[in-house]
Amino acid sequence: MDSHSTEFEGGLIDAPLRVMNPHLWKNTLSLATYLGIPTFPVRTYMACSWLFEDRTETWLTTSRTRIGNFPIINNRKGLQQYGWRLVKGMLQLKTAIAKFFRSKNQDITLAEFINQNEIEEVFWHGAVMPVLYTICTCNPKTIGEWPAKPLLTFLRQLTDGDALLRIQGGTPALVNKLIEGIHIKSGSPITHISQQDDQVYVKNAEGETAVFDRVVVATPTTNIENFLDREQFAEDIALLKQFKFEQGELVIHTDSTVMPPKRKDWSVLSYMMDRKFTRQQFTVWLNSIEPSLVGKTPVFQTWRPVTPIDPKKVISSVTLTRAVVDSKTVALNKELQQRHKVADRKVFFCGSWSCDGLPILESAVTSAMHIAEIFGAPLPFVGLKPKVEVAPQLGY
């Protein structure tokens, strides 16, 4: 998770940047607390702008109330043109979510949820769906196939007003603590994994072979047949290949054309879309959420940009592989967990894709915890509350 972190003018850039809801990232934040890593609250305001017209027009900017931390519209144009529609949409969504969690049939897709409920289009496609793209970072066409439950759980927590948290020192701080005292062999891909009697043999591209009692494979499943013994693990490969993944480009850059035209409208999250909601992109303004970048040149992360970014202003471009959830994913995960519990099992699989819910860092941690439980390993961090310190001065 720290593979693509980079420095910029002496500051830190996580790729991708992570902020965490304390209810939805419980295990990740508990782990950070156990490792002695504090967090600080961040305010993820958003700005939405229309694209592909004579000029880019910002139609919505938000902030949050001092009491309750609830999202509110804070620009006059947004209130005049869309205020009632957005408020109406918010009420419709809250009602629909409450109805969903009271219902017996919660095994529907997001598209089915939308079709079953009347929710104001500008609110849903202009303000809600962009937030889901931010979390899921998948193709907008496929997100409708996702199970509705984990996405609606996320939206329910989001609208309840809980402050989001960021780890001090970002992803590198967590990774550095996790690997203390552990021998890491990196830079040489695994080329073969096979089992002989009670031992597992692992070979890398340098020709080195190591022998283990147990092996945990923590990677997307897209390339597992490149190194798992195809005869010994034929059934596992057949199962794991059914998990779906997408790749997308995350561009880190200093081109401010991805932000609202007026600097006063800049927010942590900048969403740009056409009026038919067929093309969209989102950008994170890193200086506004990472203390080490305050006072530095404005720097951004844009996911799958649809507008041109000046090549001279690109710091790095990263291809990220993200899991895609569909109606089969829950059943696949149950089958995998059952296989893991078979006596004398030696090879295990985990990752963000390998757990119920959203395929995010929290799911990666939780899937690893499931394997730790099988091993009988202690989990002393479970249930610890995040250590939240005073928010540093950020670049709003």
Q: What is the pLDDT of residues 100-119, one digit of tens each?
A: 999 988 889 898 999 999 99
Q: How far apart, in Å, are the Cα atoms of 215 and each of 201, 218, 231, 350, 375?
A: 9, 10, 17, 11, 11
DSSP 8-state assignment for residue 147: B
Q: Is-above-0.75 flag for pTM?
A: yes
For residues 56-75, average pLDDT? 66
Q: What angle do CA 185, 191, 193 make, to 5 degrees?
A: 90
Query: Among 213-227, 255-269, 293-307, 356-370, which stretch is predicted with the lowest mean pLDDT?
Result: 356-370
- H or E element that contains 80: helix 76-102
- Please list, residue by residue across 71-86, b when 16 or more beta carbons sit within 10 angstroms of its beta carbon and e when fewer do: bebebeebeeebeeeb
Number of helical H runs and strand E runs in the chain: 11, 17
Cis peptide before 16 (omega within 30 of 0): yes
CB 175 within 8 A of CB 18: no
Per-residue pLDDT reduced to its tens digit, 167-177: 999 999 999 99
Tokens 């695994």, residue located: 190
Q: What angle do CA 288, 292, 294 make, to 5 degrees?
A: 45
Give the number of residues written for the chain.
Answer: 396
Q: How far apart are CA 86 and CA 321, in angstroms?
A: 33
Mean pLDDT across the chain? 88
Q: How far apart, in Å, are the Cα atoms of 210 and each of 174, 185, 223?
A: 27, 11, 21
pLDDT score, position 79: 67
Q: How far apart are CA 179 and CA 92, in angstroms?
A: 46
CB 30 within 8 A of CB 121: no
Nearest Cα neighbor of 312 from 251, 248, 253 is 253
Nearest Cα neighbor of 60 from 40, 38, 41, 75 is 75
- H or E element that contains 285: strand 280-285
Domains and CATH numbers, the chain: 16-168+253-313 (no CATH), 188-244+325-375 (3.50.50.60)
Query: Is the pLDDT at 85 greater than 70, yes or no?
Result: yes
Tokens 């009692």, residue located: 213
